[in-house]
Structure 1
Amino acid sequence: MIRLFDISLQLNGFPIKKAKTELDKIVHFSEEEYVSFLENKKREIVDFHLKNNSFYAVLAGNTTSENWENLPILNKQNLQKPLAERLSNGYSKKNIYLNKTSGSSGTPFVFAKDKYSHALTWASNMMRFGWFSIDFNHSYQARFYGIPMDFIGYQKERFKDFLTHRFRFPVFDLSDEVLEKFLHKFKTKKFDYLNGYTSSIVLFAKFLEQKNIVLNEICPSLKACFVTSEMLFESDKKLLEKQFGIPIISEYGASELDLIAFENPRGEWQVNAETLFVEILDENNHPVPHGTEGKIVITSLFNKANPFIRYEIGDIGILDEKSTPQKPILKKLIGRTNDVAILPSGKKSPGLTFYYVTKSIIEDDGNVKEFIIKQTKLDTFEIDYVAEKELVSEQIEKIKQAIDLYLEPHLNFTFTRKTVLERTNRGKLKQFKSFL
């Protein structure tokens, strides 16, 4: 069978072979070798950006890689500058992987990865899914995700799905009629695994529960289900295990970084120590002992195009007492939950749908800094946003068109520009909140 997935990465300039070889080497280091690898990588990436990235050099001032604890903590606001101002020397739109963060934290920005570091991300994903006998080149994925609704974006995504051996179930409409169609696909296709947004997969499981159906009885090829982007509550996990009849694996990642933690076959949330360095810090930016909660701060060890050094991701977590440098275990992730919107037609849409809507106004100029969306009535939503300039009528019109497309027509939206947005008591911005 052709390794389409690997080939499509190679063709796009992502050296996946080289990345897999390096990753394999890192994984097989002894504890001592790993510790020196980590120290070297930390020093190397900081020195590289101090020398080749004026944005980072200004931010770091006189601090060097020798004084790790004194290096600045990067946050998402720091990164809301036009990309051209924070790309390293030698990198341009031609030789990078370019993307936008999901804005699920309410603070979106455009970011870049050099091609090798992006290849390493894929190598790391492949390795972790491989723990559960999933092979991206051959395993067939049932993908519960959004999809761009404009014609070109839609076709591009579907073509990517074809190349990467996945079938997409768009999650913008999760009414019973649509879930019935989803169910039919599982009866007729040989899926190996499910992957997608937690809230959508949980809604599908609740639908199966009502119908008294266990998924792997009608689709026996299924091996595992991987949920991402939102918290998986213990009660939901039990429901998924019962209705799907397969292992349920939680991943925690960030598009601008990598997979951050991934449940291993022993049920531990193993932190990615191969391409990332993860710290848990208190409010004064001092490391906390294992077993203590603090903010999650992450360094991308390989990304030369954009500095992600001591980058505060906006989540709170606890590392397990039994963590070692080579195998840190995330004991608990606090934060990252999303609501579901219920619309007048009875349609249910996950809060993440709004990411696709708001993506239409988040341009690289960094005008819109943050936003939250509140559902106050069945047909009424309020969007509060922080921006340098008020949204103009064309932009609002654009958002309204996106809402008609992704959600449904005849919904009422009000836009309010604010100087500051309310946050949860943990300082997290919840992007969507339903008051119904």
Structure 2
Amino acid sequence: MLKLFDLTLKFNGYPIKEAKAELRKIVAQSTTEHQLFIENKKREIVEFHLQNNAFYQQLVGSKTFKSWGDLPILNKQNLQKPLNERLSNGYNSKNTYVNKTSGSSGDPFIFAKDKYCHALTWASYMYRFGWFGIDFNRSIQARFYGIPLDFIGNKKERFKDFLSKRFRFPVFDLSDQALEKVLKKFENTKFDYLNGYTSSLVLFAKFLRKQNLILKETCPTLKVCMVTSEMLFEEDKILLETQFGIPIINEYGASELDLIAFENPEGEWQVNTETLFVEILDDKNNVLPYGQEGRIVITSLFNKAHPFIRYDIGDIGILDAKSTLDKPILKKLIGRNNDVALLPSGKKAPGLTFYYVTKSIIEDDGNVKEFIIKQTKIDTFEIEYVSETELNLEQIQKIKQAIALYLEPNLAFKFTRKNALERTNRGKLKQFTSLLK
């Protein structure tokens, strides 16, 4: 059978065959071999960036290091400078995978991965989805995600969806009328699995409950549903399992890194130790023992283009007390929940819709440092932002056009530049908050 997905990656310069072979070797390691592998990769990636990356040398303050604990914690604010100032020698925007973070934590930035590292990310996804009988080259995905609405961006995403056997349901309108059309597609398509934003899938499940329908009965080919990007609360998981009639698998990832944790067939949230090294730290950057709650700090073991070493992702979590170095289990993840925006037309849009809106103000010059969006009335939103210079009329106009495109026209927006934004007691920013009752 033609492996179209693999061929597409290969065509775009991502050596997926070699990445899959390396991942198979890593997965097959004994406990002792794997512990040695992690220690070696940690040392290798730090030494590489200390020799080849001026940004990381400056952050560490030296070209050598004595111990892992001496290395600084990298945060998102460190990364809010032009990408070319952060890339390693020999890497540029043309020979790497470049993307923007979702900004769901309110701290957006542009990042890069070398092509081998990005191929390993895909290999990691394929391996874990394979636990549930999903094959990216064969299985048909019902995708509940955002999509760029500008002509070229939209066509590019749709083409990628076609090559990846995905049908995308844009999540900018989740009104009952829109969900009726979604349901019709499930009646006529042999989908194998669902994948998408937690809040969007929860809204679809609530719609099905109102209709007294089970999705598996409408679409018998469905095997499993993977939720991502936002917190999955226990009551929502029960609702999804009930209304979809299939297992619900919890995924935790970050576009700048990889899959961080993925629910295994035993129901454990298993941490990726093949391409990442995950630590839980206290407020003084001390490593906490398993079972204690702290900041999630992650090292990408393979990314040579851009350092993500002891990178504070902005989430709080607990590794289960039964964790081991080669099989850590994420017991709890705190954060990543977004409200839903209700609009005058009756449309409902998940908070992550604002990622697509705010992409228009996330420029590579690093001007906008942080932003949050609040819905104060059914037709009124406030954008609070921290920046080096105030947004000009042209930029504000661009944002208003994006809002009309992704949400709907005739909404009122107020822009307020601030020195600092209000954070939770855990130091997190919630990107979108609805103040509607």
TM-score interval w.r.t. the shorter chain? Answer: over 0.9
The corresponding residue for 1:295 is 295
Q: Which residue of 2 aligns with 1:100?
A: 100
Contact 2:50 2:62 in 1 (8 A): no
Q: Distance in 1 between matches of 2:343 and 2:35?
A: 52
What is residue 398 of structure 2 aligned with on the other side? 398
1:65 Cα deviation from its structure 2 partner? 4.4
Residue of structure 2 in register with 1:217 after alignment: 217
Q: TM-score, normalised by structure 1?
A: 0.99
**C-alpha distance in 2 between matches for 1:423 and 1:434:** 15
- What are the within-5 Å matches in structure 2 for residues 112-261 of structure 1? 112-261=112-261
Q: Offset at 1:93?
A: 1.6
Residue 318 (structure 2) aligns with: 318
* Aligned match of 2:12: 12
Aligned to 1:282: 282
- The corresponding residue for 1:362 is 362
Deviation at 1:320, TM superposition (A): 0.4
Q: Which residue of 2 aligns with 1:47?
A: 47
Amino acid at match of 2:407: L
Quick one: which amino acid aligns to residue 137 of structure 1? N
Partner of 1:433: 433
Normalising by structure 2, report the TM-score.
0.99
Distance 1:2 1:31 in 2: 36
Distance in 2, matches of 1:394 and 1:277, equals 43
In 2, distance between residues paired with 1:75 and 1:353?
Answer: 24
CA contact (8 A) 1:149 1:406 kept: yes
Runs of 4+ in 1 over 4 A off after TM superposition: none
The aligned runs of 1:332-371 (5 Å cut-off) are: 332-371=332-371
Asked whether the equivalents of residues 227 and 251 of structure 1 are also in contact (C-alpha less than 8 Å), the reply is yes
Q: Distance in 2 between matches of 1:169 and 1:275?
A: 31
Equivalent position amino acid for 2:359 in 1: K
Residue 22 of structure 2 corresponds to 22
Give the CA deviation at 1:425.
Answer: 1.2
- What is the letter of the counterpart of residue 345 of structure 1? S
Q: Which amino acid letter does the alignment assign opposite residue 181 of structure 1?
A: K
Contact 1:26 1:34 (C-alpha < 8 Å) held by counterparts: yes
Shift of 1:8: 0.2
- Deviation, structure 1 residue 318: 0.2
Determine the C-alpha separation between the residues in 2 that align with 1:186 and 1:326.
Answer: 40
Q: 1:318-370 CA distances to partner (integer Å, 9 max, x unpaired)?
A: 00011111100000001110000000111100000011000011110000000
CA distance in 2, matches of 1:171, 1:72: 39
**Matched residues in 1 for 2:325 and 2:269: separation?**
14
- 1:75-86 residue pairs with structure 2 within 5 A? 75-86=75-86
1:31-73, Cα deviation, whole Å (9 max, x unpaired):
1111111111000000000000000001001374431001000
In structure 1, give the amino acid aligned to 2:260.
Answer: I
Q: Is the 8 A contact 1:43 1:65 kept in 2?
A: no
Long gaps (5+) in structure 1: none
Superposed CA offset, 1:182-216 (max 9, x none): 00000000000000000000000000000000000
Identity of aligned residues (%): 76
* Cα deviation, residue 396, structure 1: 0.3
Q: Is the Cα–Cα contact under 8 Å of residues 226 and 248 in structure 2 kept in the other structure?
A: yes
The residue matched to 1:194 in structure 2 has which SS? strand
Q: Distance in 2 between matches of 1:198 and 1:86?
A: 32
Partner SS, residue 74 of structure 1: coil
Separation of aligned partners in 2, 1:231 and 1:64: 39
What's the CA shift for 1:317? 0.2
- Whether the 8 Å contact between 2:338 and 2:351 is mirrored in structure 1 is yes
Amino acid in structure 1 at the alignment position of 2:411 = L
User: What SS is found at the alignment partner of 1:386?
Assistant: strand
> Partner amino acid for 2:41?
K
* Secondary structure class of the residue paired with 1:158: helix
| CA distance in structure 1 between the aligned counterparts of 2:374 and 2:63, rounded to whole angstroms | 42
Q: 1:298-325 CA deviation, whole Å, 9 max, x = no partner?
A: 0000000000000000000000011111
- Is 2:172–2:406's contact at 8 Å kept on the other side of the alignment? yes
Structure 2 residue matching 1:116: 3-state secondary structure: helix
Separation in 2, partners of 1:63, 1:352 = 40
Number of the residue aligned with 2:411: 411
Contact 2:368 2:387 in 1 (8 A): yes
Say whether 1:265 aligns with 2:260. Answer: no
Shift in alpha-carbon separation, 1:285–1:372, aligned structure 2, 3 A: same
- SS of corresponding position for 1:94: coil
Pairwise CA RMSD: 0.7
What displacement does 1:258 show? 0.3
